[in-house]
Amino acid sequence: MVDLTTSYLGLNLKNPLVASSSPLTASLDNVRRMEDAGAAAIVMHSLFEEQITLAGAQQRNAGADVPIWPERLTSQADLREIYLGDVATYNQGPDAHFEHLYQAKKAVGIPVIASLNGTSGGEWTRYAAALEDAGADAVELNTYYLPTSLRTASKAVEQRYCDLVKQVKNTVQIPVAVKLNPYFSSLANMAQKLNRAGAKGLALFNRFYLPDFDLERMEVIPNLALSDSSELTLRLHWVAILYGRVKADFAVTGGVHTAQDVVKAIAAGANVAMMTSALLKHGVGHFAKVLADLRHWMEARKYQSIRALRGQMALQSIADSDAFERANYIRVIASYGERAATAASGEPGS
């Protein structure tokens, strides 16, 4: 019998399949169905910094002494203007979020990871403790932030992330993971900094939902496209580079749809593989199919455990990873050039 158990953030999991943060977890029925279908852990939908800030502003307007909002925001109108969204009604605010998390934890026997979504330091980060009090087994800090100011230096961005991790970590006793983006000039160094700041795990990578242009009305419009397996390669690339070199647990998130995707993630060095788009496309029951296919793949190839598979494709044994990157780049360009030359000549098989 194949041993599918693994660990992530110090949590013992029955397999490496984890439901990543999504609106699906807003339903307790979905949370239960995820566990029934085989999910080993669930990351709840996010509690946003903006929600907390707005709640604080509303309490302040009502006369309560809850100084948790940034100086730049003084009213609900300011929030809506800056963030371009009605955060007043999203998920009904922090109190409802804590209650839902509490009920979700009671409803299932698998670990439940809270998601705290924010980018700036401040008093709002103390709400991480409320997530812990509600029963969260860990906190995933979702740092969805893309700096656009010409005056913002890369060093300041990196320090902002590290300070945020330290603030959250100092607020809770449970493990903290960071879900980050790949847009750093030296991602490997940044991963190490986040780990040293207190991040026990790194979830690679956040997906930026970039807007599109409506050319008829000349307006910027929201655009959300679900992932597919083609997005997996960037995640595999970086987990394989970081595994064994940065002392953190790794989650691959974005592009995980099949058992083969899960195998690749584990072979690169990930502890777990997280899914959302696949569940939105195929339903929560998709966990069961992926799990059965994963078990079949491992049995057919005589792998006895996830531990035996983990890190098989990592780069930790490569002395000069920079040289490896260049060699891979050259091979890709050369092989494509050969195919292009064959196609242009009209030779058979082109």
Distance CA 160, CA 145 (A): 11
Burial of 339 (0-12, 13-18, 19+ CB in 10 A): exposed
Same domain as 175, residue 30: yes
pLDDT score of 84 = 31
Distance CA 198, CA 182 (A): 19
Distance CA 291, CA 14 (A): 11
Distance CA 350, CA 340 (A): 9
Q: Is residue 1 part of a domain?
A: no
pLDDT score of 223 = 73
Half-sphere exposure of 350 (CA within 13 A, CB side): 12
Q: Is residue 264 part of a domain?
A: yes
pLDDT score of 92 = 61
Residues 6+ apart with CB under 8 A from 232: 252, 254, 255, 256, 261, 264, 265
Distance CA 269, CA 317 (A): 13
Q: Is residue 59 part of a domain?
A: yes
The total number of structural domains that make up the chain? 2
Same domain as 325, residue 188: no
Same domain as 307, residue 264: yes
Cβ(242)–Cβ(270) under 8 Å?
no
Q: Is residue 342 part of a domain?
A: yes
Nearest CA-CA partner of 188 in 45, 316, 56, 94: 316
CA 122 to chain centre: 22
Question: In 3-state terms, what secondary structure has residue 301?
Answer: coil
Q: Hey, what's the torsion of the CAs at 170, 172, 173, 178, to 10 degrees?
A: -80
Distance CA 123, CA 121 (A): 7
Same domain as 323, residue 285: no
Q: Is residue 99 part of a domain?
A: yes
Same domain as 345, residue 218: no
Same domain as 168, residue 20: yes
Same domain as 269, residue 171: yes
Query: Which residue range(s) make up the domain with 84?
Result: 6-315
**Which residues sit opposite 274 in a β-bridge?**
18, 253
Same domain as 346, residue 282: no
Same domain as 169, residue 69: yes
pTM of the prediction? 0.83
pLDDT digit string (tens) for the chain, length 350 residues: 899 999 999 999 999 999 999 999 999 999 999 999 999 999 999 998 877 877 655 554 555 444 333 333 333 333 333 333 444 444 567 889 999 999 999 999 999 999 998 877 777 888 899 999 999 999 999 987 778 889 989 999 999 999 999 999 999 999 999 999 998 999 999 999 999 999 999 999 988 767 788 899 999 887 778 889 999 999 999 999 999 999 999 999 999 999 999 999 999 999 999 999 999 999 999 999 999 999 999 999 999 999 999 999 998 755 556 655 665 656 666 666 666 666 666 665 54
CA 196 to chain centre: 19
* Structure tokens belonging to residue 298: 């491992």
| Helix boundaries (H) for the chain | 28-37, 49-61, 76-83, 93-107, 127-133, 154-169, 187-197, 232-242, 259-268, 277-282, 286-300, 306-309, 321-345
Q: Is residue 243 part of a domain?
A: yes
Same domain as 332, residue 215: no
Question: In 3-state terms, what secondary structure has residue 66?
Answer: coil
Q: Is residue 344 part of a domain?
A: yes
Work out whether strand 212-214 and strand 41-48 pair parallel, antiparallel, or are unpaired: unpaired
Number of Cβ within 10 Å of residue 296's Cβ equals: 12
CATH number of the domain to which 148 belongs: 3.20.20.70
Same domain as 210, residue 80: yes
How would DSSP label each residue in 164-218? HHHHHHTT-SS-EEEEE-S--TTHHHHHHHHHHHT-SEEEE-------EEETTTT
pLDDT score of 136 = 98
Nearest CA-CA partner of 60 in 79, 76, 72: 76
Distance CA 71, CA 163 (A): 18
Same domain as 52, residue 37: yes
Tokens 């932030």, located at residue? 145
